[in-house]
Chain A
Amino acid sequence: MTLLDQFQLLLKAENWPDWAVYLTPAVAGILLIIVFILTIVIVFIWWERRLLGRFQLRTGPNRCGPEGIFQPIATAIKILLKEDIVPEKADKLIHFMAPVIVFVPILLIFAVIPISEGAILVDLNVGIIYVIAISSISVIGIFMAAWASNNKYSLIAGMRAIAQMVSYEIPVVLSLVGVALVAGSFSMIKIVEAQAIPYVLLQPLGFMIFFLGCLAEMNRCPFDLLEADSEIVAGYHIEYSGMKFAMFYLGEYGIALAYAGVIATLFLGGWQGPLLPPIIWFLIKVFGIFSVIVWMRATLPRLRVDQLMSFAWKFLLPMAVINMLIIAIEVLVGTMQWLMIILNFGLAALLILLWSRLFTLGGGRVEV
C-alpha cells in the first residue's frame, strides 16, 4: 500500500467525485516527485562541485550562502539569462525537441523508485524492466541533439552515444536478472523488502557490473566519452545554450540521481536501515553512491572508444552471463544466504582475476 493509495482512499472516504479521486493524488504525487528531484539535483550539483574541489586541493564554490549552498541557484539564474543560440544550419525542430526527450524519461524513472517505505508513485510489478526501458529513451534524445546541431564534434559524440549506450544496456540488464532471481520479483518494493541482507553482499559481481554499466549509461567518468571535453569539446551539447543547455545539465545530474536511487534500491537495501527514518537512509545511500561517482571523476582518465566497446562486450557481458547462471543455480538449489555470500565473493574475485589475465582492452593502430 503506497502513500498515494492511502491518499486515494482518504479522498474516496470524503466522497470526492471519482475523477478527482484519481487525478488529485496523481498530480500531487508528480509535483512532489519533481520538487524532490529538483531539490536533490541542486544539492547534488553543489555537492559535486564542493567534493571535486576537495579532491583537487581547492575550496570549490563558497561565496553564495553558507558553504556556497546557493551556488547552483546562481548558476541556474545565469544559465536562464543566457541567449538561446540555435545554429543557422541546425535542424531547428529536432534541435528544440532533443533536450526535452533527454530530460523527460529521466523524470519518468522516479515513478518506480521507492524513496521511503510506501513513498512510490506506482508500484509496478515490472519495476526493473520499466527503469531499463525508460532510461534507454534518453539515448534517442542525445543522438537527436548531436545530429540536429550540425556540428562535426557533436556528430562524433552522437555516434559514440549510440554505440556506448546500446552496448552497456545488455550487461546492465543481465546483471539485474540475478537480483530478480533472488528476490523472486521485478517489483522495486518487493526487492527492497526481500533484502534482509543487501544484495551487494549476495552478488558482488552483479553489483560491480551494474555499477559500471550505470556509469556508462549516465556518461560519467571513466566512460564520459560523449562529452569528452579534451577531445570533442562538449560532445552532443556543444551547440546548446541557455535553458536548453540547462535541460541537459539537469538531465545529467537527474540521471545520476536516478541511477544512484536504482542502485541503492536494488543492491543496498533501499530505504531499509536501523535507527534513522527510511527517507534519511535512502538519501545517505544515494549520496554515498554519488560521492563514489564524483571520486572516480576526479581521479580516473577516460577510456578510448574501442576500449570502451571491448570492455562492454569482452569483460562485462561474459561476466554478467556467468553471474546470472551461477545465481540461477544457487537459487534453484536453494543455497543458504551465508554460503551464497562466500561463494559469490570468491567467484567474483576469481572471474575478475581471470578476465584481467586473459583479455586485454585491446585496440591499436589501424592500417590506413
Chain B
Amino acid sequence: MAIRTEPFYLNIGPQHPSTHGVFRLRVTLDGEVVVGLEPIIGYLHRGIEKLAETRTYTQNIPFTDRLDYLSSMTNNLAYCMAVEKVGAIKVPERAEYLRIIFSEIMRISSHMMAVGFFLNDLGAMMTPVLYMWREREKIMDMFEMVCGQRLLYNYMRIGGVSQDLPEAFMPAVKKFLAEMPRYIDEYDQLLAQNEILLARSKGVGILPRDTAIAIGASGPVLRASGVKWDIRKMDPYSLYDRFDFEVPIGDSGDCYDRYWVRMLEIRQSVRILEQAVAQIPEKGPIRADVPQFFRPPRGEAYGYIEAPKGNIGFYIVSDGSIAPYRVHIYPPTLINITALQDMVIGWKVADLIIIFGSIDVVLGEIDR
C-alpha cells in the first residue's frame, strides 16, 4: 500500500524567479508531485485592445510593441499587415525586405532568450543566458542603429517601415551573419548533449501531436510535437516564398525537442537572413504613400504571421474612421499555455518550471 500524504497548495508567482513575468500558478502538490494546477493570468492586463479603439491606426503601433516585448518587430509587422489588408495597400519591395530582415533578426533574438532562460530554469545558473546575451547585444545594437530603440522598436509603419537603413547597418549585419554559425555551435557545445540536460528534459512534459493540433498550438511548441506547420511556408506572406529554408520539426514533443527546434530555427533564420541581405534592392521607396490620418474603407481583415513564439494574429474591423472599430489580438503564447495542465500533471515541481519555461511565454502578450 502506498503511503498517501496530504496534498497542499503552493502559490508559484506572480513574483517568482522563473515565471517569466507575472504569471501565477496555483499548484496542488502531493509531496513534490504536481496533482493539480490552475494558471491565473491578468496581472499585466493593460487593455490594449480597448485602448486601440480610441487611437489612430498609426498610434496603435507602439501598443503592439508592448505585447510580446521580446519580439516587438514581428508584432508591429502583424498589425501593419492587418491594416494593409483592410486598406489594400501595396508595400514597396525594399520595405518588404527590410521587414523580413528585421523579423528574422527578431526571431533569432527571441529564440536565444527562450533557450537561455529555459536552460536557466534547469538550473544552469545564468551562464547560457549570458552567452546568448552576447549575441543579443549585437542584435540590439543593430536595432538601435536603425530605429534608436533597444527593446520597443516601433519600426514598422502602415505600408512600409519608418526609416531607411543607416550606412553602418549592412556591414554590421553581414559581420553578425558571418559570426553567428560559430556561436550557435558554441551554444550547442555548452549544453546540448549534457547528460543532466538530457535526463531532465527528454521525455518530460510531452505535448502529443493530436493535443497540440487540437488546442491550436503554434510556433516551436507545435513543431516540436512533429507537425510541419510554419506560416512562412504554408501561407507565405510578405516575400517569404522567395527564400530557401527548412522547417525543423521535433519528433516527441518533449521539453528537449522544444529546445532543440528553437536552436535549429536560429540556424534557419540565419539562412533566410543571408539570402535577404544578398537580394535586397539597393535603392527604392521604403514606405507606401499612406496619410497620417489613414482612413481605410469599411471592412475587416485578419493579418497573421509566424512570430517567434507562434502564430500571432490581429483582427481589425474598420468603420471608415481614423480609429479602428475593433482590434482583436490572437496571442500565440496564450494558446500554447492552455496545454500546460495536461503536460504538467504527474510531474515534479522542478519539471513544472522547465515545462513552463520550454513553452516560452511572455506575459505582456498573454494579458494584453
Interface residue total, chain B, C-beta cutoff 8 A: 41
Q: Is the CB of B350 within 8 A of A229?
A: no
A365 to B353, CA, bound (A): 15
A300 to B33, CA, bound (A): 24
- Residues in B neighbouring A152, C-beta threshold 8 A: 8-11
Residues facing A in B186-214 (CB within 8 A) are 190-191, 194, 196-197, 199-200, 203
Given A301-B123, A301-B191, check contact A307 B199 (CB 8 Å): yes
Asked if B241 is an interface residue, CB under 8 A from chain A, the answer is no
Q: Is the CB of A159 within 8 A of B31?
A: yes
Q: Is the CB of B346 within 8 A of A368?
A: yes
B219 to chain A, nearest CB (A): 23
- The digit string for B32-48, where 1 denotes a CB below 8 A from any CB of A, is 11010000000000000
Asked if B124 is an interface residue, CB under 8 A from chain A, the answer is yes
Say which residue of B30, B35, B131, B200 sits within 8 Å of A304 (CB atoms): B200
Chain A, interface residues (CB within 8 Å), range: 35 or more
Given A152-B8, A301-B124, A302-B123, check contact A233 B347 (CB 8 Å): no
- Residues in A neighbouring B18, C-beta threshold 8 A: 230-231
- Secondary structure at the A interface, as helix, strand, loop or mixed, is loop
Number of A-B contacts (CB under 8 A): 101
Residue of B119, B197, B199 with highest tally of chain A CB at under 10 A: B199
Asked if A156 is an interface residue, CB under 8 A from chain B, the answer is yes
A233 to B121, CA, bound (A): 11
Asked if A196 is an interface residue, CB under 8 A from chain B, the answer is no
Q: Is the CB of B119 within 8 A of A301?
A: yes
A57 to B136, CA, bound (A): 13
Asked if A366 is an interface residue, CB under 8 A from chain B, the answer is yes
- Residues in A neighbouring B16, C-beta threshold 8 A: 233
Asked if A222 is an interface residue, CB under 8 A from chain B, the answer is yes
- Residues in B neighbouring A159, C-beta threshold 8 A: 31-32
Say which residue of B120, B199, B346 sits within 8 Å of A367 (CB atoms): B346
Give residues in B with beta carbon < 8 Å to A.
8-11, 16-18, 29-33, 35, 119-127, 130-131, 134, 190-191, 194, 196-197, 199-200, 203, 345-351, 353
Give residues in A with beta carbon < 8 Å to B.
52, 55-58, 152-153, 156, 159, 221-222, 224-225, 228-233, 297-307, 360-361, 363-368
In addition to A230-B122, A302-B196, A368-B35, 16 A-B residue pairs with Cβ atoms within 8 Å of each other are A56-B131, A152-B9, A225-B350, A228-B123, A229-B17, A230-B353, A231-B353, A233-B16, A298-B127, A300-B124, A300-B196, A301-B124, A303-B196, A303-B199, A305-B32, A368-B346
